[in-house]
Amino acid sequence: MTDWTPDSWRAKPAEQQPAYRDPAALRRAVEQLAELPPLVTSWEVEALKEQLAAAARGEAFLLQGGDCAETLDECSSGAITAKLKILLQMSVVLVWGLRTRVVRVGRFAGQYAKPRSADFEEIGGVRLPTYRGDLVNGAAFTAADREPDPQRLLRGYERSALTINFIRALVDGGFADLHHPEYWDLGFVEHSPLAAEYRRMVAGIGESLRFMETLAGRAVAEMRRVDFYTSHEGLHLEYEQAHTRRVPRRAGWYNLSTHFPWIGLRTSDTEGAHVEYFRGIANPIGLKVGPGTAPDRLARLLDLLHPHDEPGRLTLIHRFGAGKIEAALPPLIEAVAKSGKRVLWVCDPMHGNTIATASGRKTRRFDHILDELERAFDIHAAHGTLLGGVHFELTGENVTECVGGARGLTDDGLGADYRSQVDPRLNYEQALEMALAIARRAGAGRAARGG
């Protein structure tokens, strides 16, 4: 790729970038970032690419999930372990239900920058820049908080490092050992209406594992270690460029701030700076597609981002909304078929289903989310393609941000513990319920096929 450099995006229009008051301070922060060690390695990035290629072939399933936006304050042991636990629990349910390997990718250790629909927000006659994620500014509605601060780029990098360090230590220490799923039970699983179903599944896995180990006469070592990969929206191009590195004995440039960066819907213009940046990095990348993605634009994006049809390179994360997916997904499936290229199809059933309650709070209905997901499975099956993964905004905590689910959370109940500064997340039980629903559906499909 001769005409690409880590900063060739600068010649293109860059959407969603903060306006810093002091360009020299920004330059100093970015220069420091570029000197600091990477957060991930190229061999991990390549290992994930292989796993995503397997998912595209139907030999694995991607579970990607986490906060809409991480915050610098919530970088705590409790919040991180709760996220790992729910992802582990969901993945066990999916392994059991789908009878396939699950690739776990967190929206964490770097998910600090947010696209916004407006540059400014006005409250009571006061006009301030919008909150763009903790990597850029603060959420509180004060002039000081909302001023973009380049030092936050360093704080975000450091928090990402703290997060990934803790995750690696937990995984190495056996936290994710499938022999001991009781380690990652969240406290309130006992009180959940879903507890019995979940525990039955876990007991089944434990039995199968013991059976295999008895047969083999030794422990299944791979079951002691479950890998987690990291992902975030590659939005803030100064930040992403600073992490773009060459590595010994491998060609090309890697973004080593995360394993799997994705391009958000609002920054997926073929002529824009984000697509220019992403086309040159060697990582596996995600691309959000939605109601505004025309098939011919997708065809052009496939040319730009996926020119060599490298297995595992491109994941298309579609997010239409339950009411739109039937009409909007098939033309995109056809565009990909026409290109002849292999992609991994993933459904994000969150971002097309955001609504406002009567009191103006942002929420999502459990039923809409599940509906979009089920339609996605059906549409792909009908077109001979495979839905190879799911993408959720979720938390391991008992927040009240999405309505519905087994406990029937209502609009009125949202006030109890609504924490998200941006999009509403599935809480622990709702997330587990979503995984159980996918597993049940897969089981029913097998039964119907007599398998």
Please give the residue ranges that form the binding site for ligand PEP (CB under 6 A): 68, 115, 233, 264-266, 288, 319, 351, 423
Give the nearest distance from C-beta 144 to ligand PEP in angstroms.
26
The listed partner (Co ion, ligand PEP, none) that binds 401, CB under 5 to 8 Å by sort, is none
* 344: β partners: 315
Shortest Cβ 406–ligand PEP spacing (Å): 25
Q: Which of residues 378-397 bind Co ion (CB under 5 A)?
A: none
Q: Which lies closer to ligand PEP via its Cβ, residue 319 or residue 380?
A: 319
| Closer to Co ion by Cβ: residue 6 or 133 | 133
112 vs 253 by CB, closer to ligand PEP: 112
Does 68 bind Co ion (CB under 5 A)? Our answer is yes
User: Residue 150 binds which entry of ligand PEP, Co ion, none, with Cβ cut-offs from 5 to 8 Å by kind?
Assistant: none
Give CA–CA dist 189/191, Å, rounded: 5
Can you give the three-state secondary structure of the chain, one letter per residue?
CCCCCCCHHHHCCCCCCCCCCCHHHHHHHHHHHHHCCCCCCHHHHHHHHHHHHHHHCCCEEEEEEECCCCCCCCCCHHHHHHHHHHHHHHHHHHHHHHCCEEEEEEECCCCCCCCCCCCEEEECCEEEECCCCCCCCCCCCCHHHHCCCCHHHHHHHHHHHHHHHHHHHHHHCCCCCCCCHHHHCCHHHHHCCCHHHHHHHHHHHHHHHHHHHHHHCCCCHHHHCCCEEEEEECCCHHHHHHCEECCCCCCCEEECCCCEEEECHHHCCCCCHHHHHHHHECCCEEEEECCCCCHHHHHHHHHHHCCCCCCCCEEEEECCCCCCHHHHHHHHHHHHHHHCCCCEEEECCCCCCEEECCCCCEEEEHHHHHHHHHHHHHHHHHHCCCEEEEEEEECCCCCCCCEECCCCECHHHHHCCCCCCCCCCECHHHHHHHHHHHHHHHHHHHHHHCC
Q: Considering beta carbons, is residue 401 or 423 the nearer one to Co ion?
A: 423
Nearer to Co ion, 241 or 315 (CB): 315
Closer of 236 and 351 to ligand PEP (Cβ): 351
Q: Which does 243 bind (CB under 5 to 8 A by kind): ligand PEP, Co ion, none?
A: none
Q: Which residue among 423, 424, 438, 439 contacts Co ion (CB under 5 A)?
A: 423
159 binds, among ligand PEP, Co ion, none (CB under 5 to 8 A by kind): none
Piece of 66-74, 212-220, 355-363, 432-440 that binds Co ion (CB under 5 A): 66-74
264 binds, among ligand PEP, Co ion, none (CB under 5 to 8 A by kind): ligand PEP
Which CB atom, from 393 or from 433, has the smaller least distance to Co ion? 393
Q: Does 348 bind Co ion (CB under 5 A)?
A: no
Smaller CB separation from Co ion, 97 or 261: 261
Nearest approach, Cβ of residue 384 and Co ion (Å): 30
The nearest distance, CB 393 to Co ion, in angstroms, is: 5
288 binds, among Co ion, ligand PEP, none (CB under 5 to 8 A by kind): ligand PEP
CB of 22 to ligand PEP, least distance (A): 27
Stretch that binds Co ion, among 60-68, 195-203, 273-281, 429-437 (CB under 5 A): 60-68
Q: Given the rule CB under 5 A, which residues bind Co ion?
A: 68, 423
